[in-house]
Amino acid sequence: MKLQGVELRRIAMPLVAPFRTSFGVEHNRDVLLLRVVTDEAEGWGECVALSDPRYSSEYVAGAQDVLRRYLIPALAALPRLDAPSVAPALHQFRGHRMAKAALETAVLDAELRAEGRSFARELGAVLDRVPCGVSVGIMSDPGVLLDAVGGYLDAGYVRIKLKIQPGWDIEPVRAVRERFGDDVLLQVDANTAYTVADAMHLAKLDPFGLLLIEQPLDEEDVLGHAELAKRLTTPVCLDESITSAKAAADAITLGACSIVNVKPGRVGGYLEARRIHDVCVAHGVPVWCGGMLETGLGRAANVALAALPGFTLPGDTSASDRYYRTDITDPFVLDDGHLPVPTGPGVGVTPHPDRLAEVTTSADWLPLTD
């Protein structure tokens, strides 16, 4: 393909309810979408960076700037464009994995649409539907939490993930276990809120039979996670620490984790996410697909990824109405705790023009041909 132009579109998506984690509260999602136009087809990508650099060093305005100034021009200089050529062309620019992932996804989407192939087929999916978990934010009190968890279980979600932080950890987990029993698949996510010095406190979670504790320590503290893993019976899962297939292999070798959360935006794209999957499968380490409150575009691609054979744990690929009253694509609707894997060309969904126009806050078209 030959790149003809890229549209950078910002949209504002109100959440159905505030979503609180250890690094802050979100009320709205400021989302950067990319539309890549080639001489063969168009493709879409979604940048999962947040509005400010709290979850990671990336943020939406910064991603938009680096795409415009560096990443898109680097692709425009290629004589011939396909998805595998994106990462090598962008390697000269350090970091900015979420921006790179959005651009690679859009190129891959365009390439697959031109060829009539789906994301699922390209990545190696083996399922036609995937089991879905849901991430439950930090609440004002345990009663509100229990009502929320009960609603998600009634909706059919097969796994519950509780966000935790110091002061909101043992008792919320205890309350959920006492109300809903030991059969509920339950895990917790700390988003780097603890240190190794908290090991004895975190060990108090062990009696609750959790699937895992996700990213308890700082993302750079891989050795700390290895030490913590020795002191807990709850399996340690890494999220923010896993930025590449090499990082995954190193963490597994060091004993820092026994489970990996794969987020394509965090690792630079779906092709690297597939490599992480392959590394983990080779080491016998289960993986699951994390979420970043994506719209239907990102959700479609995540569901396709979650259909790969190594994704043996339910991911955060929740239904559209978990976060948005109205999505920009046809909504993903939970059916018996599962979501269908899209089968159409590319990611298998496209934004509805009217809905997209309603939520757009800015749109910049960058022509790349004379």
Catalytic residues: 163, 263
Residues in the chain: 370
Which residues are within 8 A (CB) of 101 and not within 5 positions of it... i.e. 6 or more apart? Answer: 45, 47, 48, 264, 265, 266, 267, 268, 269, 270
Residue 160's beta-bridge partner residues? 134, 186
CA dist list (Å): 137 to 26, 45, 165: 10, 26, 11
Residue 370: strand, helix, or coil: coil
- Which residue shows structure tokens 């001489």? 39
CB-based burial of residue 146 (10 Å sphere; 0-12 exposed, 13-18 middle, 19+ buried)? middle
Terminal Cα distance for the chain, rounded: 16
Beta strands in the chain (DSSP E): 3-21, 24-38, 42-47, 129-131, 133-136, 159-163, 186-189, 213-214, 236-238, 259-262, 287-289, 338-340, 360-367
Residue 21: strand, helix, or coil: strand
Q: What is the DSSP letter of 233?
A: S
CA dist list (Å): 81 to 41, 86, 320: 12, 8, 32
- Which residue shows structure tokens 């504790």? 213
